[in-house]
Structure 1
């Protein structure tokens, strides 16, 4: 009897506490039921992998395919994966009501896009054999606060270690001690010779047409050639083959629109992206001194993608860019007085790519490339409709093909390419003017060809090798006249002793050689590795300029008998570490580069219409070295990175003992872009469903500039003279930017999505020096020129129709 009573009391207590537990569970947990289906046939997918806040959660579905999850009240990031399907990510706000989540996953086996399949997942930082490689998605770039609301690829690059520029509105970037022309910038395989709009204010790449980029600044694959410093490989999105899509934005600087339209469903699609500025009115609203200023640009990108069958794809990429900029500065040429100076420059690029898959392991890619870069300077003649123009240009034709063979042990690529250069160094076109003579520097024609092989091979479980070998050959072609100079005198118009004329089809000079590339990776653990890299690169095309940043009027020149190609050797080593399921990444890299035949200008050089450019230039050697540290957080509500770089970039030029044959007495001197200390930080914070905040901070040591060493007085006028180049530095540069993006999550269930972005560039109004100029006051005084000396707010509306 006592036993029965005890059992009854125990049962009542258990029932009571179980009820309390269930009640407590109802109060503290919410039920999430997830049903995962195949997007094409709506079939149930069981055994999906679910991550909550990027942490693995192991559980199976029930017999109906429903995955049940219990979460406390709060904000969560869910990632749902299934083998063979694209991952699905969603931000979930859990309140008090149960949630039923239906997820449709896209089967990647049904897509035939031109992509590189990488099985290393989020562990690339450690597992990738190459070092000095930074992939950037356009989504990541768009999170960086933009100046005047313009998403900018080049400004995104400058937030990475080892990447700097000479200052605000600089035309290009300097990477690991390289000049701007030592970067090979590709947009869907086509080279970009001027990557900025409005003299460096914005990059020319339309953000909605770009899917991402790869920056190679350490290990350079053998398939790339022609530059001595780095490769910036930018690729446009493939158009949707399933449904119509539209994205765009409206800002104070420009308006943009991108449209994707399937022409034949699942077979043929087209993407068109346009951007145009309409900001001339802003100058008219400003002070009277700006009323004659005009500045506008537009660009247009398109891509046609045709999936012929399961083995063949064909794609065409086109790009058009045009800039116009007018200043009220008066200019003179000959006896012509100009009312203003106008800069008008354009780029036309096109590429056609055929991809053929022999099998899952073997494929062939063939690409034809065309580029036409045409800068022009216009001088409107006073009291006339005539404009005197200074024109130059580069026409670039390339045909290349590569064969790729992938096995479990090897990733082999063999390729061949040939490039035809046709350069117009400068033409003075007087138009109808009677006081200006027609002048034209001889065209430069040349051919660059190459063949290469590269392989990635696992020597053991811990040691991986990536090896490439390229052989390049270059010919300077006629028609051209080559001078002979007195070897005992500096090259000038007064030291010519003879000349030789080469007809069309004849080679006046040729260069070539092997370019080995090597990368070794030793795995310390699943989350850490050590890497070593070596690259030798040859550059046959370069910019010769006596300005700090290359302008549209800067002269491009190919190698000839006297301008030898630049040869660069880069050594690098690094330690790479990931932590907490690859959420955090850390890298420490060191590098050393030496470059032969770097080019610089003689004191007082003048390149305009100069037919024999060797009389205005000198060649020597350069060296660059540095250490780069970077820590990044890839996942979570707060993402971003911080990095620090210590680097130096020095040149030495000494051909002879004469003053005209050396710079700084033949000693090493800092380059224009030598900035020893650099610190960057960027963070993006997702605050709930509605708000996202972004911050960036930039600090750089001031770049060098040249002050006169003394003065010479003549007729009561003091004239400066210069003995040392880059003997002083401008003030250090630092800036803080801010952005606030407001989303409307209620629109996510509809095809139209819109968001507002408010940004402030230079938040605390730092008056950074862009350049230094001299005025004859009490001898000669130096003043700094500031472009953006106050905070610059902007407001942008972005939209999507998917």
Structure 2
């Protein structure tokens, strides 16, 4: 329907010139369309819409023809009479054969039949708001964990597992900068400030060629573009956390906009109320800042900043390096920043130049009984420079660019803090550099067939200063086979790797409401996380690739089917995949990475494979909406070394650490109208593998557990139900202040899910699962949230 609708706010102002403000939307999805060409004739007044689909024109009183053109949409033309200041919505109709070029909306339901990429989930701010909340917070990672193929790495974890991949195999980006500690409060919250998030893209299949460096998935989180037309204040007060955000123009010409949001959680007073958590402490905070300046009709400059801080304390879980402690304390700090310039040459061609910086610090503290404290610090300093162009033609949407990454790792520094008997220690820094060229083209070959083809070439170098250690060729890498070492100065190359990464996706329309897809993607990972999985809460260590640690490489194959019902109420999706992983890193039995300068002597290389089937049923319309997902997913590793201590499970295939064969999730929302909304999240899944003793040996008359296999048992099945109830104050919906109450219950029926079962020397006054024939070792079960957690929050929006 080619009409101009929804005239919202006519105003009369004396003078010869009047303002016309247009919001350009997709007629089907109601999603705003950026960079649409809009102009008036006669007179030629016009320009492009901004990233929110808004344009403001000034013209004298009179009659005009309003024109709007945008690739993939039918051209718009309408006669208007301008005699007042006007605000209006303009809806463009997408053309049938070019739907893949439009801006997608809530999880891309409208475009699931046409886009050639597989394994893509796209959530807008509106979609996140419609998913039942957890503890009163709208949360990115918790929402994604309700999707097929995405699961939590475990309560008290610091990330997600995608299709069985490890946490470090996911690239998490916020406005182009990587985030290494993405969660707050034992994994319950994501660090991304809720009021600042505009949208989220999760790529777990055919990853676009502009992304590289990880072998499982990419999570691309974007902050809102600041509103330059009006001031809006959002906030919330809750038992678990409170937050406040503001969007406002900063100049009279309304070219400069500001978005600033902050959130804090101070929960130390809550945990002592529960006996089993009396020694637990937690507090966190995060903030997002974004400035956007419109330098002209075709130039936009955006500056962004992000801060995240965490502290939590738990009972003693690990006693690393023989350092005594009364508990474990963890502190994380993230400081990110970025600067971006976008230039629009014309309606079809644009260029973006950006630089991003991420500074991540992790600290593990060991409090002493005498009041002293030993600190272990590590961190990553990461810089990204990128230049990317975009070209849109009638049947093509292409992107091409150059990216340079530089990261400096501080693997570990031990500060005794004045504790007698502990010596200071520091590992040498590690520097890596990547340079990548990439090209991507989404091609609409015909109304039934579309193609997404991408190619990325990356050159990697381990750079000095640093030491290169050489081991005897053909023999096991261990201290005894070290033959020589060489020290290099700053900027010298210590090791080099390079390779092509092709990406391909194909979509064929079997019928008007059914499509068949297939895809292939290769990816490499030069920065990886190594850890000893027997540690309940592992002190992980990041490691760059060098002459002894080879980059991981993955090949992913997938086939899928999508069907949307005739009545538009339901969407069904099926995807099956197979991933092959080369040069997988594993640890040797008895490995100790703590302050180990030659960490490669405790590592072994192997192969990995993952395969599965994912099913999704989604109800799109009506008061009762939501989705149900089921995934059958396996991930297996094989390490067949040349010596007994370099073979795991006798060189046979064994379950990976996030091998969770069956996962069923449901996210349902019952909208009772203008006042009430009820939400339910339900999760049930096979829990992670863990290692149990194969038997016991007697050492001087004392039975000691003997571990011969890895991941040979499985934790009890995980399941949990969450509930949320939102009460809106509908009487104030048309006023400047609107508010709502959100009541949530996490883990409604108090399931005591096991995060881990581990074996360690017996601890006095700590209940154990089992004590073995007088052995000094015992099995302990770690559960983080074994009872319902209630929360109440009040959220508000204010328009001054």
Which TM-score band applies after superposition, normalised by the shorter structure?
0.7 to 0.9
Partner of 1:268: 256
Partner of 2:771: 777
| Cα distance in 2 between the residues matched to 1:251 and 1:119 | 33
Q: How is 1:633-712 mapped onto 2 (pairs within 5 angstroms)? A: 633-656=619-642, 658-712=643-697
Tell me if 1:451 matches 2:437. Answer: yes
Q: Compute the displacement of 1:577 (Å).
A: 1.2
Tell me if 1:800 matches 2:800. Answer: no
Q: Compute the displacement of 1:286 (Å).
A: 4.0
Tell me if 1:440 matches 2:426. Answer: yes
| Cα distance in 1 between the residues matched to 2:605 and 2:10 | 62
Tell me if 1:587 matches 2:581. Answer: no
Q: Residue 222 of structure 1: which of 205, 209, 231 is its match?
A: 209
| Cα distance in 2 between the residues matched to 1:207 and 1:119 | 21
- Where does structure 1 differ by over 4 angstroms across 4 or more consecutive aligned residues? 38-45, 48-53, 82-86, 119-122, 289-292, 330-340, 548-552, 780-783
State the SS of the aligned residue for 1:491: coil
Q: How is 1:344-423 mapped onto 2 (pairs within 5 angstroms)? A: 344-383=331-370, 387-423=373-409
| Cα distance in 2 between the residues matched to 1:155 and 1:510 | 38
| Cα distance in 2 between the residues matched to 1:207 and 1:320 | 14
Q: Compute the displacement of 1:533 (Å).
A: 0.6
Listed one character per residue, the Cα deviations across residues 128-182 of structure 1 (whole Å, up to 9, x for unaligned) are: 1111111112333334334432332111111000111243232211111211111
Q: Residue 495 of structure 1: which of 477, 481, 490 is its match?
A: 481
Partner of 1:295: 282
| Cα distance in 2 between the residues matched to 1:327 and 1:736 | 25
Q: How is 1:190-205 mapped onto 2 (pairs within 5 angstroms)? A: 190-205=177-192
| Cα distance in 2 between the residues matched to 1:700 and 1:380 | 36
Counterpart contact for 1:449–1:473, Cα < 8 Å: yes
State the SS of the aligned residue for 1:607: coil
| Cα distance in 2 between the residues matched to 1:790 and 1:328 | 18
Listed one character per residue, the Cα deviations across residues 83-137 of structure 1 (whole Å, up to 9, x for unaligned) are: 9799xxxxxxxxxxxxxxxx9644589xxxxx98438985211011111111112
| Cα distance in 2 between the residues matched to 1:52 and 1:293 | 46
The aligned length equals: 715
Gaps of 5+ in 2: 13-19, 31-65, 71-85, 93-99, 760-767
Listed one character per residue, the Cα deviations across residues 757-782 of structure 1 (whole Å, up to 9, x for unaligned) are: 11122222222222113456243765
Partner of 2:55: none
Counterpart contact for 2:236–2:795, Cα < 8 Å: yes
Q: How is 1:53-452 mapped onto 2 (pairs within 5 angstroms)? A: 105-107=88-90, 117-118=102-103, 123-265=110-252, 266-287=254-275, 290-327=277-314, 329=316, 338=325, 340-383=327-370, 387-433=373-419, 435-452=421-438
Aligned CA distance change for structure 1 residues 687 and 459 (closer, same or farther; 3 Å) = same
Q: Compute the displacement of 1:218 (Å).
A: 1.1
Partner of 2:36: none
Q: How is 1:707-786 mapped onto 2 (pairs within 5 angstroms)? A: 707-774=692-759, 775=768, 777-779=771-773, 782=779, 784-786=781-783
Listed one character per residue, the Cα deviations across residues 301-325 of structure 1 (whole Å, up to 9, x for unaligned) are: 1111111111000111110111112
State the SS of the aligned residue for 2:269: helix
Tell me if 1:547 matches 2:533. Answer: yes
Aligned CA distance change for structure 1 residues 690 and 336 (closer, same or farther; 3 Å) = closer
Counterpart contact for 1:463–1:522, Cα < 8 Å: yes
Tell me if 1:612 matches 2:609. Answer: no
Q: Compute the displacement of 1:250 (Å).
A: 1.3
State the SS of the aligned residue for 1:695: strand
Q: Residue 551 of structure 2: which of 561, 565, 586 is its match?
A: 565
Counterpart contact for 1:135–1:213, Cα < 8 Å: yes
Partner of 2:62: none
Counterpart contact for 2:410–2:427, Cα < 8 Å: yes
Counterpart contact for 1:454–1:466, Cα < 8 Å: yes
- Superposed CA RMSD in Å reads 2.9
Larger Rg: 1
Q: Compute the displacement of 1:44 (Å).
A: 13
Q: Compute the displacement of 1:526 (Å).
A: 2.7
Partner of 1:576: 562
State the SS of the aligned residue for 1:749: coil
Q: Compute the displacement of 1:712 (Å).
A: 1.1
State the SS of the aligned residue for 2:592: coil
| Cα distance in 1 between the residues matched to 2:415 and 2:778 | 38
Q: Compute the displacement of 1:414 (Å).
A: 0.9
State TM-score, norm by structure 2: 0.84
Q: Compute the displacement of 1:223 (Å).
A: 0.4
Counterpart contact for 2:513–2:566, Cα < 8 Å: no
| Cα distance in 1 between the residues matched to 2:322 and 2:217 | 45
Q: Compute the displacement of 1:572 (Å).
A: 0.6
Counterpart contact for 1:681–1:696, Cα < 8 Å: yes
Aligned CA distance change for structure 1 residues 646 and 506 (closer, same or farther; 3 Å) = same
Aligned CA distance change for structure 1 residues 49 and 725 (closer, same or farther; 3 Å) = closer
Listed one character per residue, the Cα deviations across residues 182-240 of structure 1 (whole Å, up to 9, x for unaligned) are: 11111111101111113323211111111120111111100000000111111111111
Q: Compute the displacement of 1:36 (Å).
A: 3.1
Q: Compute the displacement of 1:52 (Å).
A: 15
Counterpart contact for 1:523–1:529, Cα < 8 Å: yes
Q: Compute the displacement of 1:443 (Å).
A: 0.7
Counterpart contact for 2:170–2:219, Cα < 8 Å: yes
State TM-score, norm by structure 1: 0.84
| Cα distance in 1 between the residues matched to 2:409 and 2:586 | 20
Gaps of 5+ in 1: 1-33, 54-81, 87-102, 110-114
Counterpart contact for 1:413–1:453, Cα < 8 Å: yes
| Cα distance in 1 between the residues matched to 2:738 and 2:608 | 51
Listed one character per residue, the Cα deviations across residues 464-496 of structure 1 (whole Å, up to 9, x for unaligned) are: 111111100100111111122233542222221
Q: Compute the displacement of 1:550 (Å).
A: 9.5
Counterpart contact for 1:354–1:367, Cα < 8 Å: yes
